[in-house]
Structure 1
Amino acid sequence: MNLIETPYGFSSTAAEVAEGADLTGRRAVVTGASSGLGVETARALASTGAEVTLAVRDVAAGERVGRDITATTGSTSLRVAPLDLSDPDSVAAFTAAWDGPLHVLVANAGVMATPEQYTAQGWELQFATNHLGHFALATGLRDALAADGAARIVLVSSSGHQLSPVVFDDVGFAFRAYDPWLAYGQSKTANVLFAVEATRRWAGDGITANALMPGAIFTNLQRHTGGRGSGTIPPELMKTPEQGAATSVLLATSPLLEGIGGRYFADCNESETIDRRGAAGPLQGVARYALDPEGAERLWTLSETLLAKGIA
């Protein structure tokens, strides 16, 4: 299988990637669109003519962003809807309220390296927010995605997935000491595995899913890490939010991705598979376990079980 290469790279911006794309009449949802990468992803999609829904916890912040996007793109096809991915009732309310087809779902929202915390259902917060919430959202919107006929799911993962596979026997840290970075890594691996299995299950409905590493960007995601991520990132590897959103927009809009799913991208190009952390260079490469089809199917089953039982 040849890796997908594009004309874009590390320094490309979301606006550059979106230029020339026409999503007029199409609809997109971007989670976590009230700050950081989500704002720039939504802005670029709005510039293509798509109707964009900002799915956010803070509706007031989302409305401010919506006004800013309208001012910069001229788009008036913007909606703001409440969504708390760590709350199954909030996800269910969002999916129940959705009406009509959906062309693009960008699973952008997330938390990173949080102190040990569990949801009301007993789920570890990072796994619940970064994976389970998006899993419930996508499965709840499956009919809307299938109605489009060529829908795409874009999952914002991270090179942090190399920190940990999904530890199936203890995803909730019941029998091991909680480590914020292992929990984050596990949740980001889950994002990639979801892309693999969603594509396998849903490609017949025209639905494909891909995951990505946006790059190192200073956003609210670093609120629990002193603004530095997992360590000192060389200045030359830092991106602006506009650059960080480029790969998400590529996966959402590029004709090169038509019918393509279950893959992982960074810097607007498909990443090589690696068997050792950092083997492809800083922030590069996708761990083989994150693309494992058996692990992807196992995660799907586990996710359904957790959501049905409400426990971790």
Structure 2
Amino acid sequence: FELALGLHDALASAGSSRIVSVSSNGHLLSPVIFDDLAFDFRFYDPWVAYGQSKSAVILFAVAANKRWAKDGISVNALNPGAIATNLQRHVGGQLKTPPELQKTPEQGAATSVLLATSPLLKDDGGHYFENCNEAEIVTKRPLDYHGVAPYAIDMNNADRLWDVSKKLLGQ
């Protein structure tokens, strides 16, 4: 968030700039719990914290695009998918993606490259993508963890997170 704020003027002066925010399907694990961001009252759960952080990445894209589209900056978020890298070696049990469902690094990068370079997305932002397509809005967490939760693209949540983030930065 702070990096993007710091780059805003340079991106705006460049004209037709893009920010690509990498989230994950982990956002389906939790919305941002605004009343207890730091787990001061709830028991800490690393998967809930991870889910909140990934929801926040998507909400940043929604909020930044709303504010910065007029400056020629489009912002989108994406899920690259489970990529067959050494990172997967630290995941076990039901959370480990079976090898046959993992993407190659090239496949995992495809959605990021699409959002960064496609002429079809010039000046089009505020969306969440997976597998090189805009994600379907889901009303409950699917077993295969695809789609985007409504809370992660909700403009009220995005505005609230923007305000909270600026306050945390002392702005």
TM band (smaller chain): over 0.9
Percent of aligned pairs sharing the same letter: 63
Return 5+ residue gaps in structure 2 as ranges: none
How many angstroms does 1:282 deviate by? Answer: 1.4
Matches within 5 A, 1:252-271: 252-271=116-135
Cα deviation digits, residues 1-53 of structure 1 (max 9, x gap)? xxxxxxxxxxxxxxxxxxxxxxxxxxxxxxxxxxxxxxxxxxxxxxxxxxxxx
Q: Distance in 2 between matches of 1:261 and 1:255?
A: 12
Say yes or no: does 1:213 pair with 2:79.
yes
The answer for the alignment partner of 1:67 in structure 2 is: none
How many angstroms does 1:221 deviate by? Answer: 4.4
How many angstroms does 1:289 deviate by? Answer: 0.4
Between structure 1 and structure 2, the one with the greater Rg is 1
How many angstroms does 1:220 deviate by? Answer: 5.3
Matches within 5 A, 1:1-312: 135-219=1-85, 221-222=87-88, 226-228=90-92, 231-278=95-142, 282-308=144-170
Return 5+ residue gaps in structure 1 as ranges: 1-134
Q: Distance in 1 between matches of 2:58 and 2:109?
A: 17
Cα deviation digits, residues 244-274 of structure 1 (max 9, x gap)? 1111010000011011101010011111101
- Is 1:215–1:283's contact at 8 Å kept on the other side of the alignment? no
Q: 1:308 to 1:220 in 2, by over 3 A?
A: farther
Q: 1:228 to 1:252 in 2, by over 3 A?
A: farther
Q: 1:193 to 1:244 in 2, by over 3 A?
A: same
Q: Which structure exhibits the higher relative contact order, with contacts defined as CA atoms closer than 8 Å and separated by 6 or more residues?
A: 2
The amino acid of 2:119's aligned partner reads P
- Is 2:88–2:96's contact at 8 Å kept on the other side of the alignment? no
TM-score, normalising length: structure 2: 0.94
Q: Distance in 1 between matches of 2:78 and 2:101?
A: 16
The amino acid of 2:167's aligned partner reads T
- Specify the SS of the correspondent of 1:265: strand
The amino acid of 1:163's aligned partner reads L
> Where is the helix percentage greater, Structure 1 or Structure 2?
2
The amino acid of 2:64's aligned partner reads A
How many angstroms does 1:295 deviate by? Answer: 0.2
Q: 1:230 to 1:188 in 2, by over 3 A?
A: farther
How many pairs are equivalent? 171
